[in-house]
Amino acid sequence: MEISRKTAMLVAGLGSAAMLAGAFGFQLIGGLEPCHLCLLQRWPHAAAVLILALALVTNWRIWPWLGALAAATTAGIGLFHAGVELGWWEYISTCTQGSIAGLSAADLLDPSKTLPTAPRCDQIPWSFAGISMAGWNAIVSAGLALVWLFAATRRA
């Protein structure tokens, strides 16, 4: 059975949509606030969904290559994030010590205020089978990149 380019692109693009839905589900339903690196991993998935839409409308041969680049980008960010979580390397201190972004000077100077702490990039809030969400994003996104590459090598 021959898998068409369109089918492969649908699998890859909808895979990114599912990854985004899962991330938002963990955030909005599960109450897991994303850290800075978690948020960065979402943008390439959103780009891949947009690329799928453009590919279905225009049918240009460049779209699957760009989809592969988007999926590989989020896989790379996920791998880097997993490394930060596991202590393989460090990331900027604002991501590993909380952040004061978005707070006013009055809030910072008011000793009675309890300041919110931003989620840390070096902590694992959830894992499955010993792999963090960032690790799963890296694994699944690498697979999606391969599907995009498969689509790129198929005729329309």
pLDDT tens digit string along 116-150? 666 788 888 888 999 999 999 999 999 999 999 99
Q: What is the pLDDT of residues 15-33, one digit of tens each?
A: 999 999 999 999 899 888 8
Q: Is residue 100 part of a domain?
A: no
Domain count, the chain: 1
- Answer yes or no: is pLDDT of 85 > 60: yes
Q: Flag whether pLDDT at 77 surpasses 60.
A: yes
Q: Is residue 36 situated within a structural domain?
A: yes
Residue 137, Cβ neighbours under 10 Å: how many? 27
Average pLDDT over residues 69-98: 85
Residue 82 lies in a domain: yes
Structure confidence at residue 96 (pLDDT): 54
Mean pLDDT of the chain: 87
In a domain, 108, yes or no: no
- Is 102 contained in some domain? no
For position 53, which CATH number holds? 1.20.1550
Give the confidence band of 55 by pLDDT, cuts at 50, 70, 90.
Answer: very high
Residue 95 counted as domain residue: no
Residues 6+ apart with CB under 8 A from 133: 23, 26, 38, 124, 125, 126, 127
Does residue 26 sit within a domain? yes
